[in-house]
Amino acid sequence: MLIPGITIKKGVCQLLALNKFSVGQWLKTFDTIIFDADGVLWRGQQAIDGAPDTFNALRAMGKQAFICTNTSETSREKLCAKAQDLDFLIAEDEVMSSSEALARYLQQRKFNRKVYIMGGQGIADELECVGIESLPLDEGKMIGSQMVDYVKNITLDPQVGAVAVGLDKDFDMLKLAKVGCYLMDPKVLFLATNRDHSFPVAPGHFIPGSGAMVAAVESLAKRAPFSCGKPNTFICLHLLRQGVIKPERTLMVGDTLYTDIQLGYNCGFQTLLVGTGNNSLQDVAKLQRSKLPLMYQQIPDLYLPKLSDLLKFLPSRNC
């Protein structure tokens, strides 16, 4: 990335090390900003301090803004409502999610069969939005010692033509067996919302991401899924194709290197890592020491401790 008037050394550039003029020049290099949500704009149910003000100030400057999240448990409609509740100025068609991408993928393939979901309600909701039928979500069920009988008696719906795997709180052996049985038929599509490893919820404690579920199914079915979320460009490909996003004039802001920053690399966006979520500057340093050239794709162009650090560089609304 080039910022007029300043020389950037190889590797990540710390935005806070630049002066107001340079940041101002940099801000002119893009028209669109794609924000990851959790870890950038909010954490759980709370907005990250100063994030709504910064987000809204960037919009007020005329920047086009999108939210792009790998969350699949919640529909785009509910995600938008959440963002609005937390004071982000955003509309539903400015929200992209991995379950919305999955539904769009099937719609584009003119898929007309049913979907078995191992994941959250968000997938079912998004499928419904595009007129695709899914089986009711299986509730978690204890299997105990009766596993063999349970599995023998699994009823498979012959109308199912795709299995969708996302983060599933009720993930268990019975569901895994069911998904495995459906995927024995090579004509049944295998789709994943995303492959995130895990999400921290407290120091040393984290929730497994859908990547763990997908890996289990992959090992069982002996085939890889089409993964619709970040870092697959598919999640924003429709906007690129329609010319809504110009890659060379777009900034991707994220907290996770292997999803957000890799997506930015894959799409040819500028990339900015914020330190309020999954990854830190130390993680970037590890990538820089890596001997695997592919890992360099996850090195961001720029770094900010938190999104609201940008506020002081932005024109005040009264100007």
Let me know if 38 is a catalytic residue.
Answer: yes
Length in residues, the chain: 319
> Where is the binding site for substrate, in residues?
230
Asked if 152 touches a second copy (CB under 8 A), the answer is: yes
- Tell me how far CA of residue 204 lies from CA of 130, 230, 259, 287, in angstroms: 40, 25, 21, 22
- Residue 182 in contact with residue 159, Cβ under 8 Å? no
Token reading at 121: 């309600």
Task: Output the smallest distance, CB 169 to a second copy, in A.
Answer: 5
Q: Which of 38, 196, 260, 301 is catalytic?
A: 38
Q: Which is it for the CA torsion 173, 139, 128, 93, positive or negative?
A: negative
Dist CA 99 CA 159 (whole Å):
21
Among positions 271-310, residues that touch a second copy (CB under 8 A) are: none
Which CB atom, from 110 or from 152, has the smaller least distance to a second copy?
152
Task: Output the smallest distance, CB 216 to a second copy, in A.
Answer: 4
Asked if 105 touches a second copy (CB under 8 A), the answer is: no
Q: Which is it for the CA torsion 43, 277, 105, 271, positive or negative?
A: positive
Pairing of strands 42-43, 302-304: unpaired
Per CB under 8 A, the list member of 10, 110, 205, 289 interacting with a second copy is: 205
Asked if 224 touches a second copy (CB under 8 A), the answer is: no
Quick note: the x/- pattern for a second copy over 43-82, rule CB under 8 A, is -x--------------------------------------
- Residue 86 in contact with residue 56, Cβ under 8 Å? no
Per CB under 8 A, the list member of 15, 176, 189, 299 interacting with a second copy is: 176
Asked if 212 touches a second copy (CB under 8 A), the answer is: yes
Task: Output the smallest distance, CB 75 to a second copy, in A.
Answer: 16
Dist CA 189 CA 205 (whole Å):
34
Dist CA 251 CA 111 (whole Å):
33
Quick note: the x/- pattern for a second copy over 7-46, rule CB under 8 A, is -------------------------------------x--
Which CB atom, from 25 or from 198, has the smaller least distance to a second copy?
198
Task: Output the smallest distance, CB 103 to a second copy, in A.
Answer: 23
Which CB atom, from 192 or from 302, has the smaller least distance to a second copy?
192
Q: Which of 295, 280, 272 is nearest to 36 (CA)?
A: 272
Token reading at 276: 């309020």
Pairing of strands 205-208, 198-202: antiparallel
Let me know if 36 is a catalytic residue.
Answer: yes
Listed ranges 96-104, 143-151, 249-257, 290-298: which one lies at the site for a second copy (CB under 8 A): 143-151
Which residues, listed in sequence order, are joined to residue 71 by a DSSP beta bridge? none
Q: Which is it for the CA torsion 273, 277, 282, 283, positive or negative?
A: negative
Active site residues: 36, 38
Residues lying near a second copy in the complex (CB under 8 A) are found at 44, 140, 142-145, 147-148, 151-152, 154, 156, 168-173, 176-177, 180-181, 184, 195, 197-198, 201-202, 204-209, 211-220, 222
